[in-house]
Each structure stands twice: as structure tokens, then as C-alpha cells.
Amino acid sequence: MKTPTVTGYPLWDLPTRIFHWSLVVCLVLAWWSAENDNYSLHEWTGYTIIVLVVSRIAWGFFGSRHSRFRDFLAGPGVVVNYIRGKGPKRVGHNPLGGWSVLALLALLLMQGVSGLFNSDDVLFSGPLYYAAEGSFRDTMGVVHDVAFNALLGLVALHILAVLYHQFYRGEKLIQAMLRGRAADREGETAPTTAWLALAILAVVALCLWWTISRAPQPVPVW
Ligand code: HEM
Ligand code: HEM
């Protein structure tokens, strides 16, 4: 059993926390706006989610230690041991939670990218709708629908798991995701500079803007 560290370093660096809570807000707004046919809001929250998720994936390679994928993606043996209550205590995401983080990111990305090719056939079409063939658009429409239901299920599990650890096991997960660290939840190394995250975010946003601005427009029917 590992003894708690007292390093003063955050477990979750500032970019990871900003990513998390912005994602929560944007996902709620994306859902609400789709239900209420507010497509200008839907479009912008969708773009924001794409930029946040792609940046978070890059942060999984270049970010602070506990935000990196190699820190929390463990092999099947480690996951099974964790489920059986064996194995050492870990500081960041637990071995099961680590894979659920990856699944959440993958689903969010699928949701965002499929939206770019989607249309409600009346009010709004995604910016890449006219860049694709009809059958591909149809598939993306189905993906946009199915991925969202899967996302809702996984988010519900995520919140239940967090509440279980927080209130049944007495671990201060929520405090750590809000403040960076909490008792028994501290980082083991100094965080990577947040400026790098800002640079990544800017590059990802520019790439998305560049792709969208070059997309073919509908041919006008006179
Ligand atoms: C609305 C939907 C939500 C989504 C899509 C979501 C997604 C995520 C993701 C992707 C992570 C991994 C963070 C990272 O490593 O970058 C995470 C972690 C976390 N989330 Fe959420 N989250 C949601 C809602 C919530 C809510 C409502 C709470 C509070 C009750 C919460 C509490 C946490 C905590 C405490 C962690 C860290 C878990 C740990 O210590 O291993 N999340 N969430
Ligand atoms: C990850 C972010 C996104 C989430 C969570 C999301 C969620 C949703 C939801 C829940 C619906 C209603 C589904 C239905 O009733 O069929 C919907 C519909 C739609 N979304 Fe998104 N969306 C996202 C991103 C985007 C993006 C980036 C675009 C395009 C810019 C987009 C375009 C559309 C369109 C055109 C519809 C209408 C589809 C229809 O009526 O069949 N979405 N979205």
C-alpha cells in the first residue's frame, strides 16, 4: 500500500480542470440546444467540444504526468486486479476509470465529428454536409444519434462512479477536480506549463476553422 504523498503539486493541472468543467457545461448546452432547435448555439457548443476533446487527447501525450494516457491506461491484468480489490493504490484515475475516460473522449469526438456532416433537413446543416456523399451523411446521422445515447449512458455511469468513490469510499475526487488537489490526492511531479495547453488549443481551433472555411457550399437553386 502506497503512503499518501505531500508534494504540494496538483493532481489535476489547470488545463485538465478547465477542460473537464467546460466540457460539462458545453455538453449540457449542446443537448439543450439540439432539443430546442437552437442550431447556432448547437453549432458553437459542438465546435467547442471538438476543440476541447482533441486538445485533451494531445494533452494526454504532452501534458502533466497524471493527465497522460500512459499514467492511467493499464493492461487487462491490472484492471482485473483492481476490480478484485488487489493491486497498489494509485494516485490518478484508477485502472477502470482510465479506460472510461478514453471511452468518453472517443464518444465525444465521434459525436462532434459526425455533427459536422449532419443535417436536420430543414433549418441547419453541418459545415461538411456538402463535402460528403449521401450514404456517408446518412451514416453520420445515425452515428450522431447512437453515439449520443451511448454518451448519456457512460456519463451517468461516470457520475455514479464518482459519487460512489466520493461518498461511500470517502475519497475527495470532486475537491481534486475543482481545486487541483485534495487530502491524499496530490500530484507526484510539477505540472507542465499551462501555456503549452493554450498553444495546443489555439492550433486545434485554427485547424478546425481552416477545415470548415474550406468546405464546399450548397449549389444555389435558381
Ligand atoms: C456532463 C458530463 C461529464 C463528462 C462528459 C465528464 C467527463 C470526464 C472526463 C473525460 C474525465 C477525465 C478527466 C481527464 O483526465 O481529463 C472526468 C473526470 C472526472 N469527473 Fe467528469 N464528466 C462529467 C460530469 C461530471 C460531474 C457532474 C462530476 C461531479 C459530480 C464529475 C466529476 C469528475 C471527477 C471527480 C473526475 C476525476 C475522476 C478521478 O479522480 O479519477 N464529472 N470526467
Ligand atoms: C459533441 C458535441 C455534440 C453533441 C453532444 C450533439 C448532440 C446532439 C443531439 C442530442 C441531437 C438530437 C439528436 C436527434 O434528435 O436526432 C443533435 C442533433 C443535431 N446535431 Fe448535434 N451534437 C454535437 C455536435 C454537433 C456539431 C459540431 C454539429 C454541426 C456543426 C451538429 C449538428 C447537429 C444537427 C444538424 C442535428 C439535427 C439532426 C436531425 O435533426 O436529425 N452537432 N445533436
Residue 145 Cβ contacting ligand 2 at under 6 Å: yes
Residue 177 Cβ contacting ligand 1 at under 6 Å: yes
Residue 143 Cβ contacting ligand 1 at under 6 Å: no
pLDDT of residue 219 exceeding 80: no
Average pLDDT of the segment spanning 14-30: 98
Closest CA to 90 of 185, 191, 13: 185
Q: State in Å: Cα 126 to ligand 1 middle.
A: 28
| pLDDT interval class at 169 (50, 70, 90) | very high
| pLDDT interval class at 1 (50, 70, 90) | very low
Atom of ligand 1 nearest to the CA of 177: 35
**pLDDT given at position 4:** 56
Residue 157 Cβ contacting ligand 1 at under 6 Å: no
**pLDDT given at position 174:** 97
**pLDDT given at position 109:** 98
Q: State in Å: Cα 99 to ligand 1 middle.
A: 13
Instruction: Kindly report, residue by residue over 32-58, the tens digit of the pLDDT.
Output: 999 999 999 999 999 999 999 999 999
Q: 14-213: what CATH class?
A: mainly alpha
Q: State in Å: Cα 155 to ligand 1 middle.
A: 8
Instruction: Kindly report, residue by residue over 69-124, the tens digit of the pLDDT.
Output: 999 999 999 999 999 998 888 889 999 999 999 999 999 999 999 999 999 988 89
- Provide the residue ranges of all domains of the chain, joining segments of one domain with +: 14-213
Q: State in Å: Cα 43 to ligand 1 middle.
A: 23
Residue 93 Cβ contacting ligand 1 at under 6 Å: yes
Instruction: Kindly report, residue by residue over 174-187, the tens digit of the pLDDT.
Output: 999 999 999 889 99
Ligand nearest to the CA of 73: 1
